[in-house]
A and B are shown apart, each in its own frame.
Chain A
Amino acid sequence: EPEVTQTPSHQVTQMGQEVILRCVPISNHLYFYWYRQILGQKVEFLVSFYNNEISEKSEIFDDQFSVERPDGSNFTLKIRSTKLEDSAMYFCASSSRDRNQPQHFGDGTRLSIL
Chain B
Amino acid sequence: KNEVEQSPQNLTAQEGEFITINCSYSVGISALHWLQQHPGGGIVSLFMLSSGKKKHGRLIATINIQEKHSSLHITASHPRDSAVYICAVNGIGASNYQLIWGAGTKLIIKP
Contact = CB atoms under 8 A, between A and B. Distances in A.
A45 B41 contact: no
Contact of B86 (A43, A58, A107): A43
B41 A58 contact: no
B44 A99 contact: no
A93 B40 CA distance: 17
Contacts of B31: 100
What interface size band does chain A fall in?
Answer: 20 to 34
**B interface: dominant SS:** strand
Contact of A42 (B45, B90, B95, B101): B101
Contacts of A50: 97
Given A43-B86, A45-B98, A45-B99, A105 B104 contact: no
Contacts of B35: 105
**A interface: dominant SS:** strand
Contact of A58 (B48, B50, B98): B98
A48 B104 CA distance: 22
A7 interface: no
Given A42-B104, A45-B100, A100-B30, A56 B95 contact: yes
Given A42-B101, A45-B98, A56-B97, A102 B45 contact: yes
Interface of B: 30-31, 33, 35, 40-45, 48, 50, 86, 88, 90, 95-104
Given A42-B86, A89-B41, A107-B42, 10 more contacts: A43-B86, A43-B88, A45-B99, A48-B97, A56-B96, A56-B98, A102-B33, A105-B42, A105-B45, A107-B40
